């Protein structure tokens, strides 16, 4: 494996996240991590299973790591998959 191809393996899912992100995605990841922290702190962060179980009115007021990654990627032009991977590393229970 070459040094520039080195990736960090995520323990919960086995997925790999890039260690070196482009500048836009790195900034977007910081924004997404901050939003996820606020959602968790306020009780609005759902796991995918919880989101599927609610899938209605209550779910519209809550967020998943995917919804945060999607919104931040759209707003900033960052790479959604990379943002989501980093969110999953920080919050594996919600991945």
The secondary structure of residue 9, as a DSSP letter, is E
The model's pTM is: 0.77
In a domain, 12, yes or no: no
Burial of 84 (0-12, 13-18, 19+ CB in 10 A): buried
Are the C-beta atoms of 65 and 87 separated by less than 8 Å? yes
In a domain, 8, yes or no: no
Q: What angle do CA 57, 85, 21 make, to 5 degrees?
A: 130
C-alpha–C-alpha distance, residues 70 and 46, integer Å: 15
In a domain, 2, yes or no: no
The pLDDT of residue 58: 66
Tens place of pLDDT per residue across the chain (95 aa): 444 444 444 454 556 788 889 999 999 999 999 999 999 999 999 998 888 888 766 667 789 999 999 999 999 999 999 999 999 999 999 98
Residue among 20, 30, 8, 45 nearest 83 (CA): 30
C-alpha–C-alpha distance, residues 48 and 63, integer Å: 10
| Structural domain containing residue 60 | 19-94
In a domain, 6, yes or no: no
């Amino acid at each position: 494996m070459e040094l520039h191809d080195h990736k960090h393996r995520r323990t919960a899912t086995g997925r790999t996240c890039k260690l070196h992100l482009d500048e836009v995605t790195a900034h977007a990841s910081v924004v997404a991590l901050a939003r996820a922290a606020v959602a968790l702190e306020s009780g609005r962060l759902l796991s995918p299973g919880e989101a599927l179980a609610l899938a209605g009115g209550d779910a519209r007021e809550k967020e998943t790591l995917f919804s945060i990654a999607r919104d931040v990627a759209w707003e900033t032009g960052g790479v959604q998959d990379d943002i989501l991977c980093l969110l999953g590393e920080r919050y594996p229970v919600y991945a």
